[in-house]
Amino acid sequence: MNVVVYSGEGTSRTSLAHTVRSLRALVGQHYDVMKIDAKGLLTEPWEESTALLVIPGGRDIPYTKDLNGAVNDKIRAYVKAGGRFWGVCAGAYFASDRIVFEVGTPLEVQGSRELKFFKGECRGVVYPGFVYDSEQGANAVEIQLDREALGHGGKLGFEKTRVYFNGGGFFVDAEKDPDTQVLAWYSDSNEDGAMDEGQRKAAMVVCRVGQGLALLTGVHPEYDPAHLDAGNPEYGPSPNVVTRLLEKDQERTSVLRSLITKLGLKLTHPDSTQATTVSLEEGINLALPPGAIQGIPDITPLYLASVHPSYTNDLTRSLKGLATAEGLIKEPNDTFQLISSPQHSIPIHTSTLSETAEGESEEKIIKNIVICSDGPPAAPTTPQFVMGDFFKHLQHVRQQDHRFKFGNSLLYGEVVTSTQTMLDKNFALCKSLPDGFVCNATIQVAGRGRGRNSWISPPGCTQFSMVLRHPVQARHASAVFVQYLVALAVVESVCTLPGYEGVPLKLKWPNDIYAEAPLEEGEERQPGALPKMVKIGGVLVNSNFSGSEFLLVIGCGVNTTNPNPTTSINHLIRYHNKVTGKNLGLFTQETLLAHMLVKLERMYDLFLHGDGTGFAQLEQTYYKRWLHSDAYVTLTTMTPHRKVRIQGITLDYGLLRTIAVDEQGKYIIGEEFRLQPDESRIKLVFIFGPELIALQTSWDTNELLRKLNAELEKELDKHIPASDNHDSSSSESEDEGESEDESENEAKLVDESKAKDVDKPNKLAQDISRTRNGSGRADEQGKYFRIPGMYTKA
């Protein structure tokens, strides 16, 4: 499950940074804390996997501009169906029925708002002095708590505390609304501003909205004063705002924990505010890097090593060819510093995200690459992932019966921004890396998902990105199937081991890894009830076209040792041991990564160099592991709706193959529909058995795809003998009018009618691109082609 924080137009970067940091500290073990913009809220199926949606402080007017209408409809539906919402300051104004802000001043804003979670008026500002983009109006305001409403009774041990305030409002007559509970009031005893005599002003409320809850706070309990600049003159003379907040910070943390608990979320450490380790499973503890519990952890050095030192030496020569005289590799998205370290013991300065949280992007931090030319670093250097152990496991699993290359060279960082971004968004660097090069991390603070999703990964996840060069000439082995191979390799790497066959891992088409959730202690499955399936991993593939090959960056993450937020592979094994009496061993991240890479390479080699039938050689294995055999779904975008039964996937473009049936489940001869996922827009819901369920999707576009690929093949034939004229262009996709999610492993069905008047590949590509995002285009230098599962520029 995710905690989703809005990061679109209008959000204050300072407020956003404090919100993400505090949520990461409090719930990061149980939930992925991720950012999302307005486009993501509109087009992505975030609702099903979201435990809490947060709109942080900022400006209300841009929120209304970008979120009014369809997005607000989705937010309201999510909360009414049982979701949780937190609006902070501007987010609280935005979520009220009406805003009245700074009346009679140049900043005046008045009007109704669409969400209306609080049925009354949010009026502000409560204390004078507010100035946009400034700390002039900041205060350490005192609030009076309703401890019973917060759910702690007398356990909090205090009735008043101080929290950060800057421009917030109060909720007029909140106590009169039966669906609203006041959690805290502004205190009349503040020294910082005048209050109306005799009028109680609600500072924090929680509102019942259908089956869900909306927390609205005019103050900022998420602000950690340790990350405020006490020397800022706008905070006033000593004892200033920051000093007074620091005096009450332990109380603030307790209040924030109470608010999170009030919303029904699980805390990382329910009974304490400080911790240095995270308990992952019985007998397993993971000592986390500095800052991982308290907030966003520090970025750490990257270590480069190989299964054999000669590979490292060859790779070092390639990297030095990209570097300046000072050893800097300056790429569009990141800058890397090459450091030679024969003993791997030189002191390395770690960069912290807290240094850039209020301004500079984390990508601007220089990443140190420590070159381990004489072998992997010692275990104490990388205690969370012992590179030497990984290479030993890799060689053992390979069994020396094949010339393997996946995982021969490894770049590991304990804490990184994103393994996927570091490879995919730095094209020259990526192009210089060998086939099968792997980058992995223990924690990602800006992890990449589909669409524009980014998140801070919880501990215990085996997560990596790998470079794969896929030949364009291999038309029997379409690159779209790579995503299927990776997901299948994850499941097969566990379930084909002797004794592990019963570990309940499954595939959800097209590229997610699911597991049958173990029953809780004392829980029994009702007769006829279906097992609960939960997501524990996923796959992302980004593509660039270079010369005669696709340069793919494969991203994969699977929860290995942490039973939260859903379950983990080791938790499944423990449960399997319990119910079967077996004593199967658990995986470390080193062993699992080795098994996954070897299994993937075996499958990919068969796929590419087998009998020439490509994915057909693995089709039955895929069906054995997936969730969807003979599942019934309904195509709701068709009129009338059509009930179809899933048959499999097509072997040309990897589409979902279905056949129409009547209400009794009998086949209707001749009506076949081939479906393609668009994970950023469409939520596919699959179940076991013949039950009829709603499925929002699009329908058959096979003819268009055939025409497109035929045109694509003609164009690629022209480019194969040519030099790499367009190598760098694909890494500049955003400059070519392409948004970040265009290059990701998603696809969208296009109505067949689009193909009727198309006779040129460039026009066809334009139509498809415009259909997908309304703004795509092709230029004179490069033609955009939409291939199922990828977005590639030729």
Buried b (16+ CB within 10 A) or exposed e, 553-573: bbbbbbbbbbbbbbbbbbbbb
Band the pLDDT of 631: cuts 50, 70, 90.
confident
Of 124, 120, 110, the C-alpha closest to 170 is 124
Mean pLDDT, range 556-582, rounded to an integer: 92
Pairing type for strands 84-88 and 109-112 reads unpaired
Residue 767 CA, chain-centre distance (Å), reads 29
* pLDDT, tens digit (0-9, with 9 covering 90-100), for 75-102: 999 999 999 999 999 999 999 999 999 9
What are 519-544's pLDDT values in tens digits?
877 777 777 777 889 899 999 999 98
Q: What is the mean pLDDT of residues 751-756?
A: 31
Q: What is the pLDDT of residue 748?
A: 30
| CB 43, CB 451: distance < 8 Å | yes
Domain with CATH 3.30.930.10 in the chain: 302-625
Angle (CA) 266-268-269 rounded to 5° is 110
Is the confidence at residue 665, as pLDDT, over 90? no
What amino acid is encoded at 68 in this protein? N
* DSSP type of residue 655: P
Cβ-based burial of 474 (10 A; exposed 0-12, middle 13-18, buried ≥19):
middle
Q: Is the dihedral of CA 425, 426, 432, 437 positive or negative?
A: negative
Whether 791 has a pLDDT exceeding 70, the answer reads no
Amino acid at 692: L
SS3 of 291-325: CCCCCCCCECCEEEEECCHHHHHHHHHHHHCCCCC
Distant-in-sequence, close-in-space partners of 119: CB < 8 Å, separation ≥ 6:
97, 177, 179, 180, 207
pLDDT band of 653, cuts 50, 70, 90: confident
Which residue in the block uniquely carries the two structure tokens 């699009």?
A: 698
pLDDT exceeds 80 at position 128? yes
Per-residue tokens: 4: 């989703």
The full DSSP string for 570-617 is HHHHHHHHHHH---PPPPPHHHHHHHHHHHHHHHHHHHHHSSS-GGGG
pLDDT higher for 256 or 729?
256
Over 697-712, what HEC string results?
Answer: CCCCCHHHHHHHHHHH
pTM above 0.75? Answer: no
In the chain, list all ranges with CATH 3.40.50.880.
Answer: 2-262
* 90 neighbors 114 (Cβ within 8 angstroms): no
* Phi, psi angles (nearest 5°) of residue 92: -75, -40
Of the pLDDT bands very low, low, confident and very high (cuts 50, 70, 90), residue 687 is: very low
Alpha-carbon span 634 to 645, nearest angstrom:
9
What mean pLDDT value characterizes the chain? 79
Q: How confident is the model at residue 270 (pLDDT cuts 50, 70, 90)?
A: low
Q: Which residues pair with 217 in a beta bridge?
A: 88, 204
Whole-number Å distance between alpha carbons of 757 and 479: 28
Confidence bin at 329 (pLDDT 50/70/90): very high
- DSSP-based three-state secondary structure for 122: strand
Q: What is the pLDDT of residues 398-447, one digit of tens each?
A: 985 566 899 999 999 999 999 999 999 999 999 999 999 999 999 888 76
How many angstroms from the chain centroid is the CA of residue 33? 8
And the tokens for 785? Answer: 């082609």
Please give the pLDDT value at position 196.
52
**Of 262, 347, 237, which is closest to residue 300 (Cα–Cα)?**
347
- Phi, psi torsion values for 580, nearest 5 degrees: -105, -15
- 319: Cα separation from own chain's centroid: 29
Given a cut of 80, is residue 450 above it in pLDDT? no
Q: Rounded mean pLDDT of 25-36?
A: 87
Rounded Cα distance, 110 and 112, in Å: 7
* 385 or 527: which leads in pLDDT: 385
Q: Which is nearest to 384 in space by CA: 300, 489, 454?
A: 300
Q: Is the pLDDT of residue 779 over 80?
A: no
Q: What is the residue whose two structure tokens read 């299994």?
A: 599
The model's pLDDT over 144-154, given as tens digits with 9 standing for 90+, comes to 999 999 985 44
CA 21 to chain centre: 16
Answer whether 332's CB lies under 8 Å from 299's CB: no
Nearest Cα to Cα of residue 95 among 269, 216, 251 = 216
Q: Tokens 């975030």 belong to which residue?
A: 46
Q: Tens digits of per-residue pLDDT, 577-621?
A: 999 999 999 999 999 999 999 999 999 999 999 999 999 999 999
Q: Which of 120-129, 154-163, 280-289, 621-630 has the lowest mean pLDDT?
A: 280-289
Question: Which of 312-316, 456-460, 529-533 holds the top average pLDDT?
Answer: 312-316
Concatenated DSSP letters of 249-300: HHHHHHHHHHHHHHTTPPPSSTT-S--SEEEEETTEEEEPPTTTTTSSPPB-
At residue 268 the predicted structure's pLDDT band, cuts being 50, 70 and 90, is confident
Is it the case that residue 500 has pLDDT exceeding 50? yes
Tell me the torsion sign for CA atoms 101, 107, 110, 114: negative
The pLDDT of 139-143, averaged and rounded, is 95
Q: For position 448, what pLDDT does the model report?
A: 61
What's the pLDDT score for residue 301? 95
- Domain 2-262 CATH assignment equals 3.50.50.60: no
* Residue 125: cis peptide before it, omega within 30 degrees of 0: yes
User: Could you give the count of Cα atoms lying within 13 Å of 297 in the half-sphere of its Cβ?
Assistant: 26
Question: Given this model, what pLDDT does residue 788 score?
Answer: 35
Q: Pick the range with the lowest mean pLDDT from 274-278, 438-442, 749-753.
A: 749-753
How far apart, in whole angstroms, are the C-alpha atoms of residue 608 and residue 479?
10
> Over 60: is that where the pLDDT of 352 sits?
no
CB 334 within 8 A of CB 363: yes
C-alpha span between 468 and 436 (Å, rounded): 6
Q: 302-625 maps to which CATH number? A: 3.30.930.10
Please give the backbone phi and psi of residue 328, each rounded to the nearest 5 degrees, phi first: -95, 130
